[in-house]
Structure 1
Amino acid sequence: MKGLLILLCLLTTPITQAGTYRWVDENGQTHFGDRPPVNAASDEVTLKASAPSSDAAARARKQRMNEFLEQTEQERAERNEVKAKREAQAAKHEAQCQALRARLKYLKSVSGIYRLNNDGERVFVDDEENERIRREFRARVKRECGA
């Protein structure tokens, strides 16, 4: 719309500056042109170009377009924010899963699991407890991180 308005202004300016002539032919009809006729008397007419007006409908359309663009930009920013949060959560989850898998690998490599008592001394658990801890940890890794 704005481009069309500029184009009309550019086209109107040379026409008004070139000069406009008015003459009456032998049949009594009035004619206008940018060059005076050779075989008839003519008068140069000054044309006043009216300033392009912006009517209420055009202003309303422009306002709606601006509102639409603002809304679109806001929605894009919100989508980007949600995407960034999802990516951050996925990265955090992946880091946690890597730590759990590393701990699971460690549990598979050690022969015995111990706990610390109140005095800070190691107390090894029996084989049954050892297997139960490993089984529960494998289930936790599978539940939280998949296969």
Structure 2
Amino acid sequence: MTRKLLISLFLLSLGPFSHAAVYQWTDANGQTHFGDRPPAKASSKEVRVNAAPAQADATARDRQQKMTEFLEQQQKEREERQAKEAKARQQAEKQEELCRNLQARLKHLESVSTFYDINEKGEREYVSEEENQQIRDRFRAKVKETCGE
């Protein structure tokens, strides 16, 4: 009888964790057995095990609440970290694109022999060689400041 009680208590302790069927049968010696599979050489019946949920215990409920809060906090921190990383990647991609464009414009400026302005009449007014060099130098400085090159 004690063995039967121990098995019953064990099965009850599984409670919500156990979703498998429980079978009961009596052997040739009259002993009652419980198991998760029906026996091959004896008739058995499926037994429904009703266990109190773990939340019935106040300490278990508190532990579960703390664990839920901890997991929610971890998830929130993970989402914030991922958002920051995504934003940083996006900014780095924008910076790289800007630098590619600036470097392409610098290459073009270096290939141009002279620069000009358009006056009020719509005519070109070419700048001096010194002004050409100043324009190139200012643009190189801008590329260096922006791109670090």
How many residue pairs were aligned?
A: 116
Give the structure 2 partner of residue 51 of structure 1. 51
| Distance across 1 between alignment mates of 2:76 and 2:114 | 57
Cα RMSD (Å): 2.8
Is the 2:15–2:51 contact (alpha carbons within 8 Å) kept by the matching residues of 1? no
Q: Does 1:131 align with 2:133?
A: yes
Q: How does the TM-score come out when normalised to structure 2?
A: 0.65
Q: Does 1:35 align with 2:31?
A: yes
Distance 1:91 1:51 in 2: 57
Measured in 2, the distance between the counterparts of 1:99 and 1:71 equals 42
**1:70–1:128 CA distance, 2 compared to 1 (3 A):** same
- CA positional deviation for 1:120: 3.3
What's the CA shift string for 1:15-46, capped at 9, x where partnerless? xx457xxxxxxxxxxxxxx839xxxxxxxxxx
Deviations 1:102-141 (A, max 9, x none): 1100111010011222343322110111111111111111
User: 1:145 corresponds to which letter in structure 2?
Assistant: C
Please tell me the residue identity of whatever aligns with 2:92: A
Query: In the alignment, which residue of structure 2 is the partner of 1:118?
Result: 120
Q: Structure 2 stretches of 5 or more lacking a match?
A: 1-12, 33-48
Distance (whole Å) between structure 2 residues aligned to residue 4 and residue 89 of structure 1: 52
Normalised by the length of structure 1, the TM-score is: 0.66
Matched to 2:52, the amino acid is P
> Cα distance 1:130–1:8, how it changes in 2: closer, same or farther (>3 A)?
closer
Query: What is the aligned partner in structure 2 of residue 75 from structure 1?
Result: 77
Larger radius of gyration: 1
Q: Shift in Å at residue 9 of structure 1? A: 8.6
